[in-house]
Amino acid sequence: MKYAPLLQKDDIVGICAPSSGISENLFARLDNAIKNIQEIGFDVIETASVRHNSKCVSNDSKARADEFMSLYDNPKVAAIIPPWGGEFLMDMLPFLDLKKLSELPPKWICGYSDISTLAFVLSVTCDIATVHGSNLMNMGYTGIHKSDLSAFAVMSKIETEQYNSEFYGGFSGWDITKEIYNLDKKTEWKALCGKRELHFGGRMIGGCLDTVCKLIGTRFAPVQTFLEKYQNDGFIWSFESCEMNSAEIYRTLWQMRECGWFKYCNGFLFGRADGYSDTQDFTLLDAYNNSLGDLGVPVIYNTDIGHIPPQIQIVNGAMSKIDFNNGDSVVKQMQTV
């Protein structure tokens, strides 16, 4: 596993939009995000298509791939943080030079939702550690929330510890003069098996379930090869979802399991399901139980991962340990080959 150099103050953060771009009515939020990360000590480079959005994308497939490659090939850029996800990142993957990416010095890629489509591919095809974590537009309010600041922490430290939040909630709205999050619900991570204490470890891998599942069977997801390479470490799969109902989640996890994705699995972390609904009387717990309940490994759900804030930063490729005790949890991650 290849890790980018630890992020340092005055490093350059590259901004490109490999999925959706930013429409004019949100330029102020983007500008505020750039100002905020500059104020904590980083410089910024922005590619040409970031401030454009049409048909759900910032530009055509090749142009988006070229802009990403231009940042990755720029030795001055230390990390790439897209503004946010979107819908169709997958169609730029054929235009990426994966061989070149695997040979270039690694860089940090950080983002969630559709950005995990790219991050997952880089981790399982090129052995590049990536961050399933905060998007740039999450940082575009009056200040950067401590949960989003932790993205810079995991990119600048060899070892990190992150704890479950005390409260979770939603976005406050579009007013950039306000705090970004309205956290008014009590956080409670839960174990599917009902146990109050669980401890497990392995190499972390995962992303947004809605988009990563579209890679199944393609040349961009050689998951079996990846699993065999690191089989001695075991794996922790971390997933979030943003538009899937219980039936879709069950079908997707069933398909992944049948394709051998959960071989050598030591446990699962599932973020709070956003945009979720039951399918008749078939619930989220039914989806988890029917697909994973007989694997005999811990399944922790309602975690701080993904679309419902706040979120912890998951490093795909990092060796990790999960300590779950009466709902209080610690996620420890370490950069190691």
- The pLDDT tens digits of the residues spanning 80-124 come to 999 999 999 999 999 999 999 999 999 999 999 999 999 999 999
Q: How confident is the model at residue 41 (pLDDT cuts 50, 70, 90)?
A: very high
Predicted pLDDT at 64: 98
Q: For residues 310 and 308, what is the distance between their CA atoms, to the nearest angstrom?
A: 6
For residue 316, is pLDDT > 90? yes
Q: For residues 315 and 134, what is the distance between their CA atoms, to the nearest angstrom?
A: 12
Tokens found for residue 287: 């989806």
* Cβ atoms of 139 and 15 closer than 8 Å: no
Q: DSSP secondary-structure letter at 311?
A: -
Range 20-25 average pLDDT: 96
C-alpha closest to that of 181 among 168, 197, 162: 168
Which three-class secondary structure state does DSSP give residue 235?
A: strand
Q: For residues 55 and 42, what is the distance between their CA atoms, to the nearest angstrom?
A: 32
Q: Where do we find the tokens 């961050």?
A: 131
Predicted pLDDT at 175: 78
Count of C-beta atoms within a 10 Å radius of residue 146: 10
For residue 205, is pLDDT > 80? yes
Query: What residues contact residue 47 under an 8 Å CB cut-off, 6+ apart?
Result: 14, 15, 16, 17, 67, 70, 71
- The pLDDT tens digits of the residues spanning 154-187 come to 999 999 999 999 999 998 877 788 888 999 999 9
For residue 337, is pLDDT > 90? no
Q: For residues 44 and 253, what is the distance between their CA atoms, to the nearest angstrom?
A: 38
CATH of 12-159, one of 3.40.50.10740, 3.40.50.1820, 1.10.3720.10, 3.30.230.70: 3.40.50.10740
Tokens found for residue 255: 């398909």
**Bridge-based pairing state of the strands 319-325 and 235-240:** unpaired
Mean pLDDT of the chain: 97
Range 131-152 average pLDDT: 96
Q: DSSP secondary-structure letter at 242?
A: S
Predicted pLDDT at 276: 96
Q: How confident is the model at residue 201 (pLDDT cuts 50, 70, 90)?
A: very high
| Domain-wise residue ranges, the chain | 12-159, 167-334
Q: Which amino acid is at 84?
A: W
194 dihedral zone (left: phi>0; alpha: psi -120 to 50; beta): left
Predicted pLDDT at 92: 98
Which three-class secondary structure state does DSSP give residue 64?
A: helix
- The pLDDT tens digits of the residues spanning 248-281 come to 999 999 999 999 999 999 999 999 999 999 999 9
Burial (CB < 10 A; 0-12, 13-18, 19+), residue 225, is exposed
Predicted pLDDT at 327: 79
Q: For residues 13 and 233, what is the distance between their CA atoms, to the nearest angstrom?
A: 31
Tokens found for residue 237: 């799969």
Q: Alpha helices, DSSP H only, in the chain?
A: 27-39, 61-72, 98-103, 115-126, 146-154, 209-212, 223-229, 246-258, 284-292
- Domain 167-334: top CATH class: alpha beta
Angle at 279 between CA 170 and CA 292, to 5 degrees: 85
Q: For residues 56 and 274, what is the distance between their CA atoms, to the nearest angstrom?
A: 20
- The pLDDT tens digits of the residues spanning 55-83 come to 999 999 999 999 999 999 999 999 999 99
Predicted pLDDT at 152: 97
Predicted pLDDT at 130: 98
DSSP string covering 120-178: HHHHHHH-B-EEE---GGGG-SSS--HHHHHHHHHTT-SEEEEE--SEEEEE--S-TTS
